[in-house]
Amino acid sequence: MRSFMKKVTVVDRWLLGGSVASLVVALMLVGMRLDAAPKTDSDNEEFVRFIDVSAEVYREIRGKYVDDVEGRKVLEAALQGMFTALDEHSQYMDPRTLDSLNKDTGGNFSGIGIHITQRQGLLTVIAPIPGSPSQAVGLLPWDRIIEIEGETTEGMTLQDAVDKLTGPSGTQVTIKVFREGEPEPLEFTITRATIKIESVASQMLESNIAYIRIVRFSESTTADMRRAFLDLKAQGATSLVLDLRFNTGGLLREAIEVSDLFLPKHEIIVSTNGRLKSQKREYRAVEDPIITMPTFVLVNEGSASASEIVAGALQDHKRAVIIGPKGKNTFGKGSVQTIEQLRHSLYDDEDGNPKASAIRLTTARYYTPSGRTIHHIGITPDIGIPLPKNHERDLLRHGLLGDTTIPTTADEQPETPESANPDGTEETPSESIELNEQPAPVTPEEGSEQPEAPKTEGSEPFYSKATKPAIVEDKFEDVMLNEAIKMMKIHMILEAGSGANATKVASAEPAPDTPEAN
């Protein structure tokens, strides 16, 4: 400790010739040093060198940069920069971002209605929110947003992108997207709206088949799911189709509790494994199941995080048959993010009290009951349904069962441009940032300006380097749902004759009149 204090004294003396702000940052870093408590002499030395370098760089920027720079802005950028060495889901959360996360999990916000993430360094659409302006104009999963209001997204942080996409209801934002298979980027002008995300939609289909769609795993999902199921069962439902398509995730506890509705008491639902002992956990069913009827689960590439937990648990326990597009897995978001509120903040409220800030840190990965990881792999469906070309694009534009009406604003209805052809550990998606998938709508403040990245003449655009699974999606009908209904009818006939379990259908082939993929 004596050698450390001696070195800090040297740094302090050096800073006396610079700005007061430089002294502040050095003291802040010293506080970080004391809190961090490195375990070895090597860690101590490395951290002290970090203090020296950080303080020197800060002083040079504040004293010599061509324009006057707000100290807090530099410090905040430094904090955010730490997370670039990690994964796309870890981040520093200033008070505004933390507030956005709380709004997102509550299910109410104003924006264009889209879940996005960073994939291969590119701003990637996970899925548009059902009934949102983004769905109305035809945005699709795996679209890469390459410009927002004419500004390239190359090098743009996820939170800055969210800041630019969200805003007051009735305002507009223009984006440009790269879509695999399109000769040129597509441009969309989207009118923002106040969006209410309904957690669960349900109705009775033909042949007493219950249909329940989970749109988002928010605070009321399990209660809504239980209520919907009991209502349909009272109407005579004898089988269930659970639709998790385009569901980008949400709260971990809700995914566990929804799974608990299907599985016998004490059966494992999901496990997590990380460096800390607290992250090595198993989550098990704690109640007797209330849903015991034959069940098919619909998924696609837009099913992420919490959706994958439910699908994986039901699949491993052979409690349901998982149906998806042929040759496609779910999104593959299988990491755990822990939200840790910080004791310190760079921001104060109007009374001078520190505003809450936090970090969102990947602390573990999910594993299905059989021990499979889903991270960057996803859930492989038991049955793959060939889909017509552009099918999922048309499906989003027409709406899935239970989709809410596209919201109106005080001034206008969102327009479809001609170019459009269509707790502890919790997760959060994103305009929402996410997943937990699980990132988040924010208050309408402008993000920081990002300079256009220099481009070499003849060089390949940054966004074209991304890989994307081919879209197997022209005529409109909900092919997957129709096939699930056909297979369920066949299964119920067979079950009536032999008492076979629903999971026996896993080896069945799609009906002969299934449209061929293009």
User: How would you write the pLDDT of the chain (518 residues) with one tens digit per residue?
Assistant: 444 333 333 333 333 333 334 444 444 444 444 444 456 667 788 888 888 898 899 999 989 999 998 888 888 888 888 888 898 888 888 888 787 776 555 555 678 988 888 877 789 888 788 778 998 898 988 899 999 999 999 888 787 888 889 888 899 999 999 998 889 999 999 999 887 777 899 999 999 999 999 988 988 999 999 999 999 999 999 999 999 999 988 888 999 999 999 999 999 999 999 999 989 999 999 999 999 999 999 999 999 999 999 999 999 999 999 999 999 999 999 988 888 899 888 888 888 888 999 999 999 999 999 999 999 999 999 999 999 988 887 887 777 887 654 443 333 333 333 333 323 333 333 343 333 333 333 333 333 333 333 344 445 666 655 554 444 434 468 999 999 999 999 999 988 877 544 444 443 433 333 333 33
Q: What's the domain range around 22?
A: 2-69
Asked if 448 and 374 sit in the same domain, the reply is no
Q: Which pLDDT value is given to residue 466?
A: 53
Q: Which pLDDT value is given to residue 416?
A: 31
Q: Which pLDDT value is given to residue 510?
A: 38
Q: Spot the catalytic one: 316, 382, 394, 478.
A: 316
For tokens 């459009």, the residue is 420
Asked if residue 275 belongs to a domain, the reply is: yes
Asked if 104 and 55 sit in the same domain, the reply is no
What is the DSSP code string of 277-342? GGG-EEEE--S--S--S-EEEE--TT--THHHHHHHHHHHTT-SEEEEETT-------EEEEEEE-
Asked if 184 and 213 sit in the same domain, the reply is no
Please tell me the distance from the alpha carbon of residue 14 to that of residue 58, in angstroms, as a whole number: 13
Asked if 268 and 366 sit in the same domain, the reply is yes
Number of domains in the chain: 3
Asked if 375 and 397 sit in the same domain, the reply is no
Q: Which pLDDT value is given to residue 297?
A: 98
Asked if residue 81 belongs to a domain, the reply is: no
Q: Spot the catalytic one: 22, 259, 305, 357.
A: 305
Q: Spot the catalytic one: 333, 382, 394, 430.
A: 333
Asked if 205 and 340 sit in the same domain, the reply is yes
Asked if residue 74 belongs to a domain, the reply is: no
Q: Which pLDDT value is given to residue 329?
A: 96
Asked if 379 and 413 sit in the same domain, the reply is no
318 is catalytic: no
Task: Give the type of residue at 360.
Answer: R
- Going by their DSSP bridges, the two strands 268-273 and 239-243 should be labelled as unpaired
- What's the CATH code of the domain at 266? 3.90.226.10
Q: Which pLDDT value is given to residue 451?
A: 35
Asked if residue 82 belongs to a domain, the reply is: no
Asked if residue 517 belongs to a domain, the reply is: no
Asked if residue 347 belongs to a domain, the reply is: yes
Asked if 300 and 350 sit in the same domain, the reply is yes
What is the DSSP code string of 71-99? HHHHHHHHHHHHGGGS-TT-EEE-HHHHH
Asked if 103 and 9 sit in the same domain, the reply is no
Asked if 101 and 165 sit in the same domain, the reply is yes
12 is catalytic: no
State residue 88 phi and psi, 5-degree precision: -70, -10
Q: Count CB atoms within 10 A of the CB of residue 53.
A: 10
Asked if residue 419 belongs to a domain, the reply is: yes
498 is catalytic: no
Asked if residue 476 belongs to a domain, the reply is: no
Asked if 380 and 419 sit in the same domain, the reply is no
- What's the CATH code of the domain at 149? 2.30.42.10
Asked if 248 and 349 sit in the same domain, the reply is yes
